[in-house]
Amino acid sequence: METVKLSHIVERLAPELSPFLTSRELELCIVLRDGIELLEPADVMEIVQHSICNGQKQILIQ
C-alpha cells in the first residue's frame, strides 16, 4: 500500500488533467493498494472521477 497526493498521480501519469482539478482536489490523499508504479492512465481517470464526485458530495452536504 502507498499513500500519495492526487497531484502526484496526475503529474506523473496524466498531466493534461491538472488544469481541470481544483487545488483542493489535487491535495487529496489517495491510498493505492498496489502502489503508483502499477497505475495505468485508465486507472488515473477513474481515481480523478471518484475524487471529483466525492468532493461534490461534500459540498452538497454542507
Q: How far is CA 49 from CA 52, 53, in A?
A: 5, 6
Asked if residue 59 has pLDDT above 90, the reply is no
- Considering the chain, what percentage of its residues have pLDDT values greater than 90? 73
The residue to which cell 471518484 is assigned: 50
Average pLDDT, the chain: 89
What are the structural domain ranges in the chain? Answer: 2-61
pLDDT tens for each residue of 5-26: 999 999 999 999 999 999 999 9
The confidence score (pLDDT) of residue 28 equals 93
pLDDT band at residue 41 using 50, 70 and 90 as cut-offs = confident
